Amino acid sequence: MPTAQPPPLNVAIIGGGPGGLGAAIALSALPHISVTLYEQARELREIGAGIRIGANCWTVLGLLGAEDGVKGHVEERVLQRNGLSGELLAEKNLDGALSGGGSVKERSGVEPQRVRRTRLQSALVGKVGEGIIKLGRKLVRMEKVAGGKGGSVVVVREHVFRDHSIKFTGTTIFRTLIPASSVSHIPDMTPATTWWHGPTGHMYSSLVDDPSELRPEEQMFEIAARDVCDPATVTGKRFSWGVPATKERVESFFTDYDPRVRETLAIVPEGQWKEFSAFAGPRLEKLVAWEGRVVLIGDASHPLSGAFGSGAAFALEDGWILARAIEYARGDLQAALDIFDEIRSPYYYKMYQYLDQIKASMQNAKAANPTQSFEESLEARVNAFGGEDRLSWIYGNDIKDVWRKWVDGKIAAKSVK
């Protein structure tokens, strides 16, 4: 690796989501880098209700110095219920034992929390330096300028990976935040975080605030109600960002659910629902393009459609690793982006593989029992998806450790030569 002072590098980041903001924080901490972040929206607004901050996310937020102010509801109890009958199918406690020993709390050292998305966004924005974020600026095309100097990193997908496309998956998610006090009288709706599973979707509900911080009347409750259909049956345009949905539309998917679910949905005031359509696409073989000057991070790099509920953590990890790779390569941008790709692509590959395995195991269970009842399919669904324990390589991922191991591997490889 070159040892001289690295040359100055201008970096353009497209998008002010967790990925772009995290990358802006991590990259602008490097002395030779000048960062500009372009966001198409005129203001940075986060409308996605709540977000889960698990151990992987806490680790990277700590590395970015952005964990202060990110505070919410500690997921002490997570319940899985039959959404129609209300029957309790599974329960996980924060202090409960994990396979391999220890509890979620002990193993990760931090508590998973459900927080308002706005709090994560504010914490990140607060760490991005003055003048870096340019709002109301949309990337519409990219051109190679004759005689232009090398050394710009841009984070975008459709402009450089033209053969790659994402499609509506058939999953529609309705999300809202309402005062927790408005549902506190409904049995079992609070304080546990609960999945109410139905035949073609589920309702997820959770508190999102820390009771030691806010008065009871200020605390909020999150609902994410999901329906899955065959995407081929859907006509009309779908949007991945939140568009308004009526009460009637949302409630129509849950008419046969447990009365507690229906009562909760009925309490949401008209005009409070936002509808998100999930899009996903195949894994990209490589995250670097345009002669090593463009790199994808966050959702743009792995269109998984929120499959693991940890995409913000992945996006933040990407930004932090990108900064380490650029720092390590000391001016060799191509080498830096290759390092980034070498570390992150296999990680995403493992996620796609895992999802394929889940899909196959569900299909096998169905093939073995074609007359599978709703209860049987539900059991398969609840058992199929691992949590903190089975997926510790995701939820317990320590990105600092990942980087240290990569560097150690390079040192070991050199000493063998």
Q: Would you count residue 319 as binding ligand FAD (CB under 6 A)?
A: no
d(CA 142, CA 152): 12
Residues 152-191 that bind ligand FAD (CB under 6 A): 173
Write down the least CB distance from residue 414 to ligand FAD, Å: 34
* Residue from the set 11, 14, 104, 223 that interacts with ligand FAD by CB under 6 A: 14
> Judged by CB, which is closer to ligand FAD: 155, or 336?
155
- For 292, half-sphere exposure in the C-beta direction (CA atoms, 13 angstrom radius) is 14
Report, in Å, the least distance between residue 139 CB and ligand FAD.
4
> If you ran DSSP here, which 8-state letter would residue 41 be given?
S
CA pair distance 133, 140, nearest whole angstrom: 17
Q: Does 279 bind ligand FAD (CB under 6 A)?
A: no
Task: Work out whether 276 is an interface residue with ligand FAD (CB under 6 A).
Answer: yes
If one asks whether residue 298 binds ligand FAD (CB under 6 A), the answer comes out as: yes
Burial 217-256 (b: 16+ CB within 10 A, else e): eebbbbbbbbbbeeeeeeeeebeeebeebebeebbebbee
- Residue by residue, DSSP assigns 325-348 as HHHHHTT-HHHHHHHHHHHHHHHH
Closest CA to 331 of 292, 286, 297: 292
- Residue written as token pair 């953590």: 313
Among 26, 28, 39, 66, binds ligand FAD (CB under 6 A): 39
Asked if 310 touches ligand FAD (CB under 6 A), the answer is yes
* Residue 292 sits in the site that holds ligand FAD (CB under 6 A): no
Task: Find the binder of ligand FAD among 227, 258, 299, 317 (CB under 6 A).
Answer: 299
Question: Binding of ligand FAD at residue 18 (CB under 6 A)?
Answer: yes
Going by C-alpha positions, the residue among 318, 308, 395, 283 that lies closest to residue 19 is 318
Q: What is the nearest approach in angstroms of ligand FAD to the Cβ of residue 371?
A: 32
> Which residues, 6 or more positions from 263, have their beta carbon under 8 angstroms from its beta carbon?
186
Residues in 189-228 at the binding interface with ligand FAD, rule: CB under 6 A: 224
Strand spans (E) along 99-192: 113-116, 133-135, 167-179
Among residues 138 and 149, whose Cβ is nearest to ligand FAD?
138
Minimum distance from residue 151 beta carbon to ligand FAD (Å): 21
Chain contacts with ligand FAD (rule: CB under 6 A): 14-20, 38-41, 48, 51-52, 57, 138-139, 173, 224, 276, 278, 298-300, 306, 309-313, 315
